[in-house]
Structure 1
Amino acid sequence: MPPRFKPVQNSVASALPTALPSTHVEGFVAYLQGECGLARNTVISYERDIKRFSDWFHESAVARVTDITLQDLSGYLRYLHELKLATSTIARHLVSLKMFFRYLMLEGILKESVADLLNSPKLWEHLPKVLSEDAVNRLLDAPMHQDLNPYRDRALLAVLYATGCRASEVCSLKMRDLQLDEGFCRCVGKGNKERLVSLNPVAVAALKTYLARERPARAGTSLDSPVFTSRSGRSIDRIQVWKLVKRYASRIGLSDAVTPHTLRHSFATHMLANGAEIRALQELLGHASIRTTQIYTHVEHSRLKAIHKQCHPRG
């Protein structure tokens, strides 16, 4: 039966080889956007994952998607491991695959999904890296007057750490989202879900300074205009945020592995260390599942073990 969802034009799926029928893949992408309400970046990631699966499928001995067995999909997972992908990346591929097979069931193409029988790889093999509170403070102070956008960069770093927001969420902030007098802002996360996040005094002060000294010269007063802009007045993107975090981390001697997400991890870990409840942290981070948030309990436990080993006389 034909897909119930209108195919998305000019997508990655349109360039797929004939390993899987193009209507299957295009319909799946439209399904993600139209019915699942996933964020654009998530849809792009899932679409890329299915392209990789399609490439593998093309080289396999399986003739049709309806012939795929659990053994075949286990072979696909082994193939992903052979590519030396990160555990978290393989886990996302598995989620993409399960959603794709469920879509095929909705379309009546498959009677059951063998993908649901696959087990997710262990996600706790590599715990996220976090910065100490002292390292975070040094990073927030790293922008200097000789930099092109010192006030913007200070405000951006302060907001990333104060809220635990993703880089994409901070980039999408509009002027109307800021409530500086009340100390919070509204952000839009994955799946276009809105949440309110608190701004600590450091972030509020940095934002007020930036809005007073740098932003007026480059952006209008419209409430729909972006908070963080380039010198041309356009909204900055995730790549720019990634680059500036890398630059300032390098300036103060931190590892080149520090990224905007490191500040998100640090925010969550520091919140737990200071008594935040796991359910409250889930809401602050915008996690759909508590299982995602629970990774930070593992991080905090690892930190405490390191302190014990360092400080105990028989550690």
Structure 2
Amino acid sequence: MASIEEVNKSAGLISKYKSYLLLEKALSPNSIEAYLDDLSKLLQYFEAENLKIQDISLENLQQFVTQLYDLGINARSVARVLSGVRSFFNFLILDGYIQNDPTELLETPKIGLKLPVVLSLQEIENIISVIDLSTKEGQRNRAIIEVLYSCGLRISELTNLKFSDLFLDDGFVRVEGKGSKQRLVPISPIAIKEIGNYLLDRKHLDVKKGSEDMVFLSKRGTPISRIMVFHFIKQYAELAGIKKNISPHTFRHSFATHLLEGGANIRAIQQMLGHEKITTTEIYTHMDREYLRQEIIEHHPRNIDKR
């Protein structure tokens, strides 16, 4: 049997599957495109795992689902992806490519299951729009939200960000995550611009000794606290009319969800998040940095400055 890599590259098979969706399933063009997008996520994952099609098991698929959850993908989106995955394996059986369906016992997520809150792109735009840039903290807070969402950082990673960690000419920031593990994360052009605008205001602060290298400061010239970020994000969400219970971490979940739904490679998202369960040093050293940057430039929805 063909390997997943061969299946993924086989225009003939994908074309047959597309015809199956159109003629036998009678799906609309938009639904067909969605099914093919879901399939591409699965094929990317298994190609990275170097599995052949006959090796695909229920356990492999469960691991795929686990990684979607680890990325903060909500249950409804996971269920939609699995619908496309099941459709593809059904097609493979009907056309004789495989004999057993590994999705047969794969559980569908319960939509009511409590999972991380994710903001829509419009909700994020609404939050940013209520920030009063005429205040001393306005531009700083805008830059913080852009960095949280554009880079998918944890709040602790944001508050500990140093100037020596910024490589803005190259389009990267260095982040120290859990367990003091460091990673390079692509930063979008709009986030770079907002940092630049904030630094113009930062020049007027009386920076306290020992805080000179810290990027984001309080009005007292000391490193900004996690509580302070929690506070103004809650405040902006309320002003924007958002009823969801959000926190700084919500922007990290939204980052992962929007990139995945936009078509970004799962491995690249894992790399950028620095997730302990799915990111290893070996993977990190073998990922091409420019490739990671291209993933976020192409797929992140706020990379186009509309102002």
Q: TM-score w.r.t. structure 2 length?
A: 0.51
Structure 1, unaligned runs of 5 or more? 1-87, 89-121, 292-315
Deviates more, 1:204-213 or 1:177-186: 177-186
- Seen in structure 2, the aligned counterparts of structure 1 residues 223 and 234 have a Cα distance that, compared at 3 Å, is closer
- Please list every run of at least 4 consecutive aligned residues from structure 1 whose deviation after the TM superposition is greater than 6 angstroms: 220-223
- Name the SS for the 1:234 alignment partner: coil
Residue type at the aligned position of 1:137: E
- Seen in structure 2, the aligned counterparts of structure 1 residues 204 and 123 have a Cα distance that, compared at 3 Å, is farther
Structure 2, unaligned runs of 5 or more? 1-69, 71-108, 280-307
Once the two structures are TM-superposed, the CA of residue 217 in structure 1 deviates from its matched residue by: 2.4
- Seen in structure 2, the aligned counterparts of structure 1 residues 134 and 277 have a Cα distance that, compared at 3 Å, is same
Residue type at the aligned position of 2:135: D
Cα distance per residue 1:62-115 (max 9 Å; x no partner): xxxxxxxxxxxxxxxxxxxxxxxxxx9xxxxxxxxxxxxxxxxxxxxxxxxxxx
Alignment of 1:221-232 (within 5 A): 225-232=213-220
Once the two structures are TM-superposed, the CA of residue 218 in structure 1 deviates from its matched residue by: 3.2
1:261 equivalent to 2:225? Answer no
Once the two structures are TM-superposed, the CA of residue 183 in structure 1 deviates from its matched residue by: 1.7
- Name the SS for the 2:124 alignment partner: helix
Once the two structures are TM-superposed, the CA of residue 216 in structure 1 deviates from its matched residue by: 4.1
Q: TM-score w.r.t. structure 1 length?
A: 0.50
Report the RMSD for the aligned CA atoms in angstroms: 2.6
Find the counterpart in structure 2 of residue 195 from structure 1: 183
1:276 equivalent to 2:264? Answer yes
Is the contact made by 1:131 and 1:263 (CA closer than 8 Å) also made in structure 2?
A: yes
Residue type at the aligned position of 2:179: G
Find the counterpart in structure 1 of residue 235 from structure 2: 247
Partners of 1:253 and 1:211 in 2: CA distance? 29
Find the counterpart in structure 2 of residue 158 from structure 1: 146
Once the two structures are TM-superposed, the CA of residue 247 in structure 1 deviates from its matched residue by: 0.8
Residue type at the aligned position of 2:172: F
Once the two structures are TM-superposed, the CA of residue 194 in structure 1 deviates from its matched residue by: 0.6
Partners of 1:149 and 1:215 in 2: CA distance? 13
Alignment of 1:1-315 (within 5 A): 125-219=113-207, 225-290=213-278
Once the two structures are TM-superposed, the CA of residue 213 in structure 1 deviates from its matched residue by: 2.4
- Seen in structure 2, the aligned counterparts of structure 1 residues 242 and 187 have a Cα distance that, compared at 3 Å, is same
- Name the SS for the 2:115 alignment partner: coil
Once the two structures are TM-superposed, the CA of residue 285 in structure 1 deviates from its matched residue by: 0.7
Once the two structures are TM-superposed, the CA of residue 168 in structure 1 deviates from its matched residue by: 0.7
Partners of 1:237 and 1:167 in 2: CA distance? 9
Is the contact made by 2:117 and 2:244 (CA closer than 8 Å) also made in structure 1?
A: no
Is the contact made by 2:148 and 2:252 (CA closer than 8 Å) also made in structure 1?
A: yes
Partners of 2:235 and 2:136 in 1: CA distance? 13
Is the contact made by 2:172 and 2:186 (CA closer than 8 Å) also made in structure 1?
A: yes
